[in-house]
């Protein structure tokens, strides 16, 4: 099965990002495909390269980066939501890219299922 994933919440204020990551990881390990991961609303904070959690805490951004590198995931940050929250090219973590809502629509069309995490 081919999934699209929509992440609507930030990495440390809501469980949605962790749940999306764990879902994507499990799906990929079972042989499914992730067409695209789209970060929207506060979900764009997952792509902030300046986030430095304490060493005893998980690094959600790094987790997404490692998964994307291992499985060649397309991780897209919504340009409008990013601009509102200060996520621009210069603050974008490696492995993420900025684009528009058309990328979310395309993921919904191309994927068998679009999974949304967060409000």
Residue 76's domain is classified under what CATH number? 3.40.1260.10
Does the pLDDT of residue 76 top 80, yes or no?
Answer: yes
Q: Is residue 112 part of a domain?
A: no
> What pLDDT was estimated at residue 109?
96
Q: Do the domain assignments include residue 19?
A: yes
- Distance from C-alpha of 51 to C-alpha of 99, rounded to nearest angstrom: 21
Active-site entry in 78, 87, 98, 107: 78
The answer to whether residue 96 is domain-embedded is yes
Predicted pLDDT of residue 84: 96
70: containing domain: 9-50+58-103
Task: Domain count for the chain, please give it.
Answer: 1
- Is 104 one of the catalytic residues? no
CB 115 within 8 A of CB 22: no
pLDDT at 111: 98
In a domain, 113, yes or no: no
pLDDT tens digits along 21-32: 999 999 999 999
Does 49 score more than 90 pLDDT?
Answer: yes
């Amino acid at each position: 099965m081919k999934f699209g994933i929509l992440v609507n919440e930030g990495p440390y204020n809501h469980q949605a990002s962790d749940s999306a990551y764990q879902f994507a990881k499990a799906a990929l390990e079972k042989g499914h495909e992730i067409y695209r991961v789209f970060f929207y609303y506060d979900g764009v904070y997952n792509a902030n390269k300046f986030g430095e959690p304490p060493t005893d805490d998980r690094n959600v951004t790094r987790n997404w980066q490692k998964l994307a590198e291992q499985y060649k995931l397309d991780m897209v940050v919504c340009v409008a939501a990013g601009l509102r929250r200060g996520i621009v090219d210069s603050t974008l973590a490696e492995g993420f890219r900025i684009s528009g809502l058309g990328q979310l629509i395309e993921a919904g069309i191309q994927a068998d299922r679009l999974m949304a995490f967060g409000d």
